[in-house]
Structure formats: structure tokens, C-alpha cells
Structure 1
């Protein structure tokens, strides 16, 4: 039976807070809202397990547990952290994400079911995964599914941490979990909403300043109305509204990317009033803080180095996506000082070898068996003219 009273919830919080570690998961929906709607919270500690019904009892008392010294163990924690912060006003102080941890021993973004199968030989039920978690009472098979997500999570965490320690990678995983918490703390600021819109990032001068303001308005309105941002105004709509600056409802509704059914309940009039406010206002153009442009001569190298990096990571039993994405490689070649490949454990794994490539002291080559290899450069380029031989 789920926890549905304040008294039972207080007992869960007190007991779990005394544990060194606890498993944590949530069930939520967010298809039609700006903020995720919490449907269940699952917690396991020692030999105890609780499924909490936030529709029956406020979950704000969980803040005491989250703020405590215990290690919160989650799987693919990013959205769980968001929904917990929205409901409780805080996030766990310390976390271990089993998906991240598994990435450091060769698993590529594994699902929780995969880790159960590979590490414990246990098959998780899957039929309730896309269920309506807001139906009440929650059917028994769905409660069992939710409970199973945390029932053995501490055991999985222990296995992963022991293996990471044996490989000398536990600190890497812990560092990555800290970064995940930092990203969660940063949240979605309305001031930086425009950075998530490709069409706006490409704009210049006053048009971009106007588009940045419209993007901020959209984010703030979506949060107030609890609607997905694209249900208010599409990304394209943000850019075109800033370009045309409509003065009437008729002009607004002519714009591609503006759906009248989305701009209802006064949103259309509120947007027009906002446009009138900024039409002649002095607006600062927020800089994109772009790093140096990529040398055109290096563009062909992006795909080759990305392929080598993925192979290099896999051979080292590391999740390639965790080590370096194509965007990371491009940022590295551009000389972006904020590139994550330059920081922490990635610096030795990726940044140092790529620096050798850029300096011309190493080269990527095929090993004759279909694999890429990084080798010391001989300095003897092969001539494009076969008659001339090697230089």
C-alpha cells in the first residue's frame, strides 16, 4: 500500500534519513505541462521500501531527507532531480547515478532493466512503463513496477561502485555526478532561454535583442501557465515574431509558427502588449560568448576524430557518449575554453591525444583490420602523384 498520510510519511523520512544511502525514483508526467507532475515517489533503504502518493499527502517533508547526509542513489537522475526540486524546494545533496556509473565500466547509456539483467540476472517487468500514473487507486501491478525500480537499486550501486573502485574510476563517476547536480541547480533560466533556440542564435543586432526578449517572455509565460514552451509559441514563431513585431491580432496570427489555439486565454493580447513595450526600448544584445571559429581546414577532421574517440572510449570500457560527443570534439578543435573535454578526467582521455593531432606529432590511421588507431606521425606524407613516391 502506498504512503498516504503525513504520519506515515514522517516515519519514512525519519527512518530513511538515518541510512547511509537510499534508493530514490519518481513517476511523473510532463507531456502537457511546463513543470513535471509528480505521481509517485519510491524510496528504498536498508530492508525497507516505501511508495509515496503525492496526490494524497504533500511530499514537502522529503526535503529533510534530501538535505541530509545520506547518499541518494538514482538511475538517469536528471528529470527526477527537476521534479523533486519543484515539489520539495530542494534536491539531494549527494547522489550516485547508476547510469553514469555504469558508463565508466563500458555500458552505453544503459536502462535500469539492462543493469538488472546484466548485474543481477533479474528481469524487470516492462508493461507498466508508459502507464497513466495518475489513475487512482494505483493498480497493484503498477505499484509493483514502481517499487521494483528501487528495490535492488542499492545492490546495483554497490556492485558498480566496487567495480569502479577496482578500476580506479570511482572518482571519475563521482565527479560526473557532482556536475549533474550543478546542471540541475542551474535550472532553466528565462534569461538564457534564447540559447536553446537555433533560429535566435543565428540572428544579429537589434533583431536578436528583440528575439531574446520574446524568448524570455515565452519562458516566463509558460512557467506561469504551466504549459510546455512550444505550446505557447514555437521556436520559429519566437524568431519571426521578433522580426515582424506585429501590432495586431490579425498580424500575429499570420506568422508562421504561431498557432492561434496555443495563444488563447489572453496570451495573444499579453504578447502584443509586451511587443509594444519593447518595440522602441533600448535592449542589450546578450552575447553568445562564441569561441574562435573552427578553422575550415579542420572540418573534415571532426568526423574522423569523433569516430576515433568513440572507438577509443569503447576499447577503454567507457561509454562513448560520456567521454566525448561530436559537439565536444568540434568545441575542442575550435579552441573553446569551456569545452568539457578539457576538464577533469576527460583531459587525459581525449584532450591530450587530440592536442597531439593538432600539433602534428600524431596521426589517426587505419590499422588494416577496420579500426582506427592513433600513432606517432612519421613526417613522411604520401604524394598525391604516384610517380613521385613519398616525399
Structure 2
């Protein structure tokens, strides 16, 4: 008989609800995936130089990964709907390990790009299935908090994994960064096998019914809002290293520590955002986008001053991820007939935002080329701020729509 875990099991007598241990194994998986997604951003110049391409073209390694998530996640979610969740999460991690090993061995830019896209197939489905699983382990009042704990793996990857991977890449070569990620994937796989319990499969919902659940206008608006946040983040963060070295004037050795600072902000924002969203979901999302827009505009004004840049980067990291848990829970709530597919599709759409943001950031930089091979990265904070303002507008429309619906109900 399969073991079924419920939210009540995590409640101590007369005490505060605890998060179950199995939730943290999902956090470990999020850490590994977050590391491979973001580590390339601190190594674009090294990868470009080694493979004989420009930095903006190397930026397509970020775009390609994001597109792979966007296209592959919903398809995999539908194709694997009847898979036992523990088996599916483990198989996704095997795919992840193989893709990173291939990236470490890639002899050309094209093969590296293909390896990145292959690896990306694990990303959206893992986060989508994992988020539904995480929210099912706790009471309704703590769903956003549980999702934020799982997503903390992504933010911790920014604090520890990405700077560590960047340091390895700078000292031992960028290929060793992917070796380190593959090793982390092996550790995560062991954790999933040991800690994730087998759970009772939910009653299957037909693919047609799941797709109909995704076609709700409110759900589409929530997905688009999240995509604008990712456009904003990746338009700038994809090129954070050349911004810091060419515009702010920092040395390459400082960059990993700036990524640590950014990651600390991301982790703080993710946890605070989860707690605030459990109390007031849409005001938290709106406040996050407003803070992003203001901080990015400020960064555009002070990005030649190292101390001010460091302060703004930390706060920007916090604001950028504060909206994530709330949007994830809202999307799963709106798509009750297909929470796993909706959650996976959310990560797919977010990664389309990642892809477009990275592409558009590179496109803008090329338009502002100062001389052959020299680019003006100072335009990127303003570009990112524009995307945040679009996200703010969409979030306000969501809130107004909710209030109008309540007024007529």
C-alpha cells in the first residue's frame, strides 16, 4: 500500500505547522537546476572567447535554454501525466545530469547550445510537478510559503551555487562549472530517491479538460504578468558581468561576490514574498513590480558608482523574486482541473520571458555598439525597468478584475 502524506502530518501538537522533510529534497533539486540556469551568466565572456563567438551571441545559450523550457515543459507535463511523481522527478534529474555532462564536453558552440536545450527539458516539468507536490504537503493557509521553500533552492543557487560555479569557471575553465553542476545533480538524485515518498496518484484529468483549464483569460493574464517580470530580470541579469566590469568599473574577481550579494537579496525576497502573499497575494505582487521598476531606474542613474550599484543590486534581487510565490499559487488556484499542467506551463511562460529578455537585452546592446566589439551595457537597467512597468500594469489589471468580479457577485 502506498504511503500518502497529508498536511496534517506536519502539525505538531498545539504548535506551529512545520514543513516536512520531503519538501527540502525538492529544494535541493531546485538548487541544482537554478545553478545550471544562472551560472552561464557569469561566464559569457569566457565561453565566447573559447568558442570564438561574440558575447551577445553567447547570450543565446541563455535564450536557447529558456526556449527549451518554454516549449518542452507543457509537452512533457501532458506526456508524463500518468507517471508516478517520484519516478518522474528522478528521471528528470537523470536527464539533467546527462545534459550538463554533455555541455562540459561540448567542442563547439552549436553542440553546447544543443546540450543546453536538452538540459532545459527537465527544468519546467520539475518545478511544475514539484510546486504542486509542495503545496499539497501543507494547509491551505501556507501554500505560498511551501512553494517559496521549494523555490528557495533556486534563490540559494544564486547565493552559493552561481558564484561558486563562476569562480570555478574563472579559475579552472568554464567547462568545469558544468562538471560541478552535474555532480550536484547526482547528489540531488540520491536525495530524491531517499527522501521523496511515493504518493497516491490523483484521479486523471483528460488532456482536453486540462487544456481548457489553461485557456481561462484570468490565467493567461497571470502568466503574462510573470513573463514580464522574467523579461525584466533577464534583460539585465544575462549581461550582469559586462555591466559590472565595463560600466561600473569592477574587476572580474569581484563579480562572483556581487552575484552572492544578488543571491542574498533574491533569497530574502522569495521568503518574504511567500509570507506576504499568504496574507495579501495581489498587493504583494503589485508592490514587487513597483519596487523593481523604481530600483532599476535608480540603477540606471548610479551604475557608474560601485557602492551604490552594490546596494541597488541587492534590493533589486529581493524585489525581483518577491512576486514569484504569489503568482505560482494564483496560477495553480485558477487552474483547479490541471494544477500540475498549469504550474508547469507557468514555468514555461516564465522561461519564454527569460528567453525574450535575454534576446532583447542582447539586441539593445548591439544597437548601442560603441565601436567594433564594444557595447554600451548601461542601457540595460532602463530596458529592464520598462518591462517591470509593463508587469506592474498587468498586475493592477488583475487586481481590478478581481475586485470587479466581487462587486458583481
TM superposition score normalised by structure 1:
0.29
Q: Which has the higher contact order (CA 8 A, sep 6+)?
A: 2
Bigger strand fraction: 1
Bigger helix fraction: 2
* Higher Rg of the two aligned structures: 1
